[in-house]
Structure 1
Amino acid sequence: MKKLYILCLLMAANHFYAQTEIDGIMMDKNNFCTGAIYEYSSWDNYWEGNFKRENLNFGTISTQKISVNGNYGITDKLNAIFSVPYVTTKASSGTMLGQNGIQDLSLTLKYLFYEKEIKKNLLSFYILGGFSIPTTNYVADYLPLSIGSQSKTGSVRLMSDYQFGSLFATASCSYIKRSNIKIDRNTYYSDRMHYTNEVDMPDAVSFNARAGYRTKRLIAEAIFDTWTTQKGGFDITTNNMPFPSNTMNMSKIGFNGKYNLKSVSGLSIIAGANHVVAGRNVGQSNAFYGGLFYIINFTSTKTKTTTNEN
């Protein structure tokens, strides 16, 4: 459900806009963009396999998340990005208690390896490598209210971006490798009985496409995003709780916006929303988010310090 795909979250910045790993923007050398984002999402309908249903035992599942994010320009063509989210879950009905805590630390290196101007338009290609690790010992086997899956992940993403005037289009695809996890019981059933506490976590493939309007002051974009579990997952069984290694497929649409303030140089406001339009073993969630980001130019600081010393 909502937490079913956030379990597999590779980068918290994946649904946000502030020079993230899946947009066609690079942070300049020695510039550091940092900020926080608040997100609220909820769902009361979900897919049990391909069957869409509701469950009055827990009513509406809501998730609140506050993420601290940052992006540092190592060079003009190489960026380092991090994100740490604090997640809180809640069920409106029933006896299941919500969970809260710090989820996973995610790190990504983003490299611009090809750029060419074509009739005053700009074509760019990127390669990205990332990983994430759990930061706390939260409970993974408590879906749909757990805050994460406890799986360590690694990913490789290829991305292209084409800017033509003030318009742009970006497309990317990634493969996510996930480590096995251990749960607090010695047996569990998937499509067969397992007499172990180790759970095989299936890998996943993610595709993202976005297009819209982009200038130095304003960015507005529409987004289409998919998440597809690879071989090894299985469906939620009828009237049963979901499990960390379930097949979790999802398609969603949304929009992002970013505005750089004129009155405060380096300060930007971001906002957006997304909606799950189709899925398998996930909730049909609606999410809304907003945040503030600020760019610190360490080059200017170094230059001023050197000038003062001279």
Structure 2
Amino acid sequence: MAGLFLYLLLAVQSVSAQTDIDGIMMAKNNFCSGLMYSHSSWSNYWEGTLKRNNANLGTVSSSMLAWMGNYGVSDKLNVLFGLPYISNKASAGTLHGMKGLQDLSLWVKWMPLEKEWGSQTFSLYAIGGVSLPVSDYTPDLLPMSIGLRSKTISLRAMADYQLGSWFATASATYVIRDKVTLDRELYYTTQLHSSNEVAMPDASSINVRAGYRTGRMIAEAIWSNWRTLGGFDMTRNNMPFVSNRMNASMLGLNIKYNLKAVSGLSLIANGGVTLSGRNMGQASSIGGGVFYIIDFSPKKKTKADQAKK
């Protein structure tokens, strides 16, 4: 129930426009930037491992508009960022919706190995990232809260294999999460705490994607699994808490198309569903985006330019 924002976070990762979780690198001096919109909703959720209907809140929905970018420092080193604006609301009950800027994410993506033989290519990647809240939102009103307000450090290893136009990419990520500060001095987990600071369990994720990839388009299926390495289950008929155990397995589809008419412009469409979860809403999502690449490489002087001098 607490994890709608988590679903949207993973939806951002399915954009496939040279992101931190795909086997594509931005060329040196190229900058790709754009907007991604996603809408997600759920009416059933897992209270611990018990699947329930969300009668008190009806359908919980969330809309996200994210600004994302990627700059090619070199052909093997990219720097990326993402900043989402999120709006959450429920169709029933008395909880007011919440909205605002969530967390800024910064990533460094390095490709230390790329081997080609015939029509095959194999590459390895090392990726590191940080995220931090950029607004004063509260994490203490889940599932209306737009995030967990925990600073994070992420470490990822990834491998990509391509045979002709067909590919498969697999990655594993470990997420270190900082403590969260609440606007109250007393809270209960499995015991009473006289503090406003909540220790957050770390988390891990696995992402596997496979499909068809050319210079013109990408069509892929994506499976992802997120696991919180600790925490506790929601108690019966109570609201979720920021340090709950939150596990989810999700399946999605993603399509990216580079327009012929406008060089550097690409359109993206994706969707996904939650297959299983723990203390999570069973969300489904649909989204789309527009991205554009600008080449900042120094222009080579032509003979005509030299003649003008």
- Short-chain TM bin: over 0.9
Q: What is the CA–CA distance in structure 2 between the aligned matches of 1:9 and 1:61, rounded to whole Å?
A: 13
Q: Distance between the aligned counterparts of 2:71 and 2:97, measured in 1? A: 35
The aligned counterpart of 1:164 is 163
**How far did residue 87 of structure 1 move?**
0.3
Q: 1:150 to 1:92 in 2, by over 3 A?
A: same
Q: Which of the numbers 237, 240, 253 marks the counterpart of 2:235?
A: 237
The corresponding residue for 1:137 is 136
**CA distance, structure 2, for counterparts of residue 183 and residue 246 of structure 1:** 15
Deviates more, 1:16-25 or 1:244-253: 16-25
Residue in structure 1 matched with residue 253 of structure 2 by the alignment: 255
The correspondence for 1:280, drawn from 266, 278, 281, is 278
Q: Deviations over 1:250-279 (max 9, x none)?
A: 000011000000000000000100100000
Contact 1:252 1:277 in 2 (8 A): yes
Contact 2:14–2:222, Cα closer than 8 Å, also in 1: no
- 1:54 aligned partner: 53
Change in CA separation of 1:303 and 1:119 when aligned onto 2, cut-off 3 Å: closer
Counterpart position of 1:118:
117
**Given that residues 43 and 283 in structure 1 are in contact (C-alpha distance below 8 angstroms), is that contact kept between their aligned partners in structure 2?**
yes
Distance 1:46-1:12 versus aligned 2 partners, 3 A rule:
closer
Q: 1:144, CA displacement in angstroms?
A: 0.3
Cα-Cα RMSD: 1.9
Flag the 1:208–1:165 CA change in 2: closer, same or farther, 3 A: same
Is the CA contact (8 Å cut-off) linking 2:249 and 2:276 kept in structure 1?
yes
Q: Which amino acid aligns with 2:261?
A: S
Aligned counterparts of 1:201 and 1:246: Cα–Cα separation in 2: 9
Instruction: Decide whether the 8 Å contact of 1:11 with 1:107 is kept in 2.
Output: no
What aligned pairs does 1:1-310 form with structure 2 within 5 A after superposition? 1=1, 4=3, 6=5, 13-231=12-230, 233-299=231-297, 302-303=299-300
SS of equivalent to 1:299:
coil
Read off the aligned partner of 1:65 and give its amino acid letter: M
**Secondary structure at the counterpart of residue 13 of structure 1:** helix
Unpaired segments of 5 or more residues in structure 1? none
Q: 3-state DSSP class of the match of 1:247?
A: coil
Q: Deviations over 1:134-161 (max 9, x none)?
A: 0011011000000011100001000000
User: How many residues are matched?
Assistant: 307
SS of corresponding position for 2:280: coil
Q: Secondary structure at the match of 1:124?
A: strand
Quote the Cα distance in structure 2 between the aligned partners of 1:44 and 1:5. 11
CA positional deviation for 1:304: 6.5
Residue pair 2:12, 2:36 contacting (<8 A) in 1 also: no
CA shift for structure 1 position 164: 0.3
SS of the equivalent of 2:245 reads coil
Moved >4 Å (runs of 4+):
7-12, 307-310
Conserved? CA contact 1:28–1:76, under 8 Å: yes
Aligned equivalents of 1:222, 1:9: Cα separation in 2: 17
Change (3 A) 1:52 1:163: same
Residue aligned with 2:109, SS: strand
Which residue identity does 1:284 align to in structure 2?
Q
Q: Distance in 2 between matches of 1:10 and 1:91?
A: 19
Q: Secondary structure at the residue paired with 2:297?
A: helix
For 2:109, the aligned partner's letter is K
The CA distance in 1 between the partners of 2:129 and 2:240, in whole Å, is 27
Query: What is the TM-score normalised by the length of structure 2?
Result: 0.95
- Letter matched to residue 127 of structure 1: A
* Counterpart Cα distance in 2 of 1:4 and 1:184: 21
* Residues 84-128 of structure 1 deviation map (CA, whole Å, 9 limit, x = unaligned): 000000000011000000000000000001111133300000000
Q: 2: distance between equivalents of 1:285 and 1:304?
A: 54
